[in-house]
Each structure stands twice: as structure tokens, then as C-alpha cells.
């Protein structure tokens, strides 16, 4: 079945909360945010707005610049550059992708979240620019930005997710939409996290701590994005059960995990203290099981239960407070402690 984008102006539309659906509704083009259906969206709005920040305010990057030149090993520099290149791609493609995705969401309270996410993805791009401008010499910046052109492993996985997005734009039907939705969930929920773990590991060894602080803010946002797409997928299951293709979910997860392991082992190798090819595989599979669980699905790798990065668990809970992003319930959530409880994923 083909998909039709929302009309911008539709006087005959009806998006009353009683008749509203997450997709395929009869939208009016009016953001009536006093009449909402999805309570989780209202809660997430408060969280996402509370995450506002300005990347230029993160201090200490000058010290990171000195450490980058003097203290990082060749393996750590390779990983630092390559992972930044991948993260830059992910946030860049999301900034372009999300407005297209929002055109097919027919709940204004969820469209509002997607607008905030688009803004946050753009801020992430500015965050990476700030890191590169301060830490890396000018002649190396373009090399990092366009590393994906030269590295076949990175190009392969960027092509995988980019083609899923492009397929729906060119052929908007139910199957392609669901693949598009799972692609968003995988990007937000799986693709970033070996890179995040690398920066945390450097910081745990007193290296590049300002970069890790910037990455922590980005991770905080990405976890809310995971939550949002989790809830969208749950609403699809309830409202459009015939669209949910669990076989396809497992196939896409399996492909994404294989690509993430291949890339992680390539860019991290066995050259980072506390990280190696074995831990990369274990962490990626554990994360995939975690993400499948929030979609009410059985683990793809039931034999994987332990987190190989115990230092991430220690970093996660500095003040004994945890945040359950998957269920959108937050304890003691303020801007000052918003980074608590966001690392063990």
C-alpha cells in the first residue's frame, strides 16, 4: 500500500485525539498541542527541551588538542579520527532525513518531537565541528569528514542505512516505511555506541576528557531519540499490527550487528586499552539484545548477557541515580544531572 505525505493545509482533516493515529491519519496541519493522544510524547518534550546546550560552552578542548598530539597512541588517533567521521555521517544524514520522516507522522505531538530531534542533530554536527576546529589541525579536518569515501568498510555501512532511507523516498509504501522506521531505530540505538564506548574508555584513562564530555551530551540526546522511536514502533504494533514484520526486524538487526562488529573491530582493533575485537563483538550483541527487548522481542544472541565494559557501568552511576530512557520515566531529571544514567546502553 502506498504512503501519502501529510497535507500542509487540510481544512477537512480530523486529528481529534479520539481518532488520531501515529501514521495514516487525516491531519489538519494544525498543531493542537492541548489535545494530545500519546502521553509519552508530552513527557519526552519536557526532557528534550531540558537538554538544550551550546557546544561552544564545553571547556577543555584546548587541553585535548595537546593530548591528541602528544599522548594518544597511533591506534587511539586512528580510532578517534575514524569514529568521529562515522558519527558526523550519522548525525548529518539524520538532519536531512527527519523532516522527510515527519511528513508521514500524523500525531502533532510526535511531529513536535521530530522537529526538536532535527534541531538536536544539527547541534551535534556543530559539536563535531567544534571538536575538530579545536583539537585537529586544519589540514586533517577534511580527511576526517570524508574518510567514508576512502574506507570501504565505512562506505559499505553508510550505504546500507542511506539506501534504506532513499528507498522509501523513491517508493513510499508500507514495507519500505517499516524498513525506514527500523533503520532509524538501528541508527539511533545501535550504530553510535561502540564509538561512545571508545570516548568513555579514553576518558576513563584520563585522556580526551573534554571530547568525552561533548560526546556525553550527544549520547544523552541520542538515548531520547531511541526512546521516541521505541514508542513509535510500539504504537505501530498496536494500531497497524499487519505492518509489523518481525522477520524483517531480525534480518535488519542481524545485518546491522554484523556491520557494526566489522567496523568496530576494524577501527578499534586490539589497540585500545580495555577494548579489543572480542569485547566489540560482545558489547554489540548485548546492545542488540537490549534494543530488541524494548520492542518486546526475544534476544538475537541469548548467550550474551554480560556487559564487557564494566567501566561504563561505573561511569554511569556517579550519584546513585539512574534514568530509564526506554520507558520514558525519569527520576530527579534536571539539566544539571541530565547526564546521569545514560552510559550503560
pLDDT tens column, 8-39: 899 999 989 989 999 999 999 888 888 899 99
Burial letters 195-220, b for 16+ CB under 10 A, else e: bbbbbbbbbbeebbbbbbbbbbbbbb
128 assigned to active site: yes
Rounded CA-CA distance 145/132 in Å is 10
Confidence (pTM): 0.90
Q: Which CATH architecture has domain 58-300?
A: Orthogonal Bundle (1.10)
Q: What is the mean pLDDT of the chain?
A: 88
| Candidates 128, 165, 217, 309; catalytic one | 128
Residue-wise pLDDT for 125-172, tens only, equals: 999 999 999 999 998 999 999 887 788 988 888 899 999 999 999 999
Residues 227-264: pLDDT tens digits? 999 999 999 999 999 999 999 999 999 999 999 999 99
pLDDT of residue 150: 82
**Coil vs helix vs strand at 272:** strand
Length of the chain: 345
Amino acid at each position: 500500500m502506498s504512503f501519502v505525505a501529510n497535507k500542509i493545509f487540510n481544512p477537512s482533516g480530523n486529528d481529534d485525539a479520539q481518532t488520531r493515529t501515529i501514521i495514516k491519519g487525516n491531519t489538519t496541519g494544525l498543531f493542537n498541542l492541548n489535545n494530545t493522544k500519546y502521553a509519552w510524547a508530552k513527557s519526552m518534550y519536557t526532557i528534550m527541551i531540558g537538554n538544550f546546550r551550546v557546544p561552544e560552552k564545553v571547556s577543555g578542548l584546548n587541553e585535548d588538542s595537546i593530548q591528541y598530539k602528544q599522548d594518544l597512541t597511533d591506534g587511539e588517533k586512528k580510532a578517534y579520527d575514524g569514529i568521529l567521521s562515522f558519527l558526523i555521517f550519522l548525525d548529518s544524514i539524520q538532519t536531512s532525513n527527519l523532516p522527510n520522516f515527519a511528513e508521514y507522522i500524523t500525531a502533532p505531538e510526535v511531529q513536535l518531537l521530530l522537529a526538536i530531534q532535527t534541531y538536536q542533530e544539527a547541534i551535534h554536527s556543530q559539536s563535531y565541528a567544534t571538536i575538530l576546529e579545536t583539537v585537529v589541525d586544519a589540514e586533517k579536518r577534511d580527511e576526517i569528514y570524508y574518510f567514508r569515501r576512502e574506507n570501504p568498510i565505512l562506505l559499505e555501512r553508510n550505504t546500507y542505512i542511506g539506501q534504506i532511507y532513499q528507498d522509501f523516498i523513491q517508493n513510499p509504501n508500507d514495507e519500505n516505511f517499516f524498513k525506514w522506521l527500523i533503520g532509524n531505530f538501528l541508527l539511533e540505538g545501535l550504530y553510535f555506541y561502540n564509538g561512545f564506548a571508545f570516548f568513555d574508555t579514553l576518558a576513563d584513562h584520563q585522556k580526551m576528557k573534554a571530547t568525552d564530555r561533548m560526546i556525553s551530551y550527544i549520547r544523552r540526546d541520542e538515548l531520547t531519540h531511541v526512546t521516541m522511536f521505541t514508542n513509535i514502533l510500539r504504537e505501530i504494533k498496536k494500531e497497524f499490527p499487519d505492518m509489523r514484520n518481525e522477520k524483517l526486524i531480525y534480518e535488519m538487526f542481524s545485518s546491522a550487528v554484523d556491520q557494526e562488529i566489522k567496523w568496530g573491530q576494524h577501527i578499534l582493533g586490539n589497540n585500545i586499552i580495555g577494548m579489543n575485537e572480542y569485547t566489540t563483538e560482545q558489547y554489540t550483541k548485548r546492545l542488540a539484545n537490549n534494543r530488541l527487548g524494548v520492542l518486546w522481542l526475544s534476544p538475537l544472541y541469548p548467550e550474551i548477557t554480560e556487559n564487557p565494559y564494566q567501566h561504563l557501568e561505573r561511569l554511569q552511576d556517579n550519584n546513585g541515580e539512574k534514568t530509564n530512557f526506554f520507558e520514558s520515566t525519569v527520576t530527579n531529571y534536571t539539566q544539571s544531572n541530565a547526564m546521569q544514567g545514560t552510559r550503560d546502553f
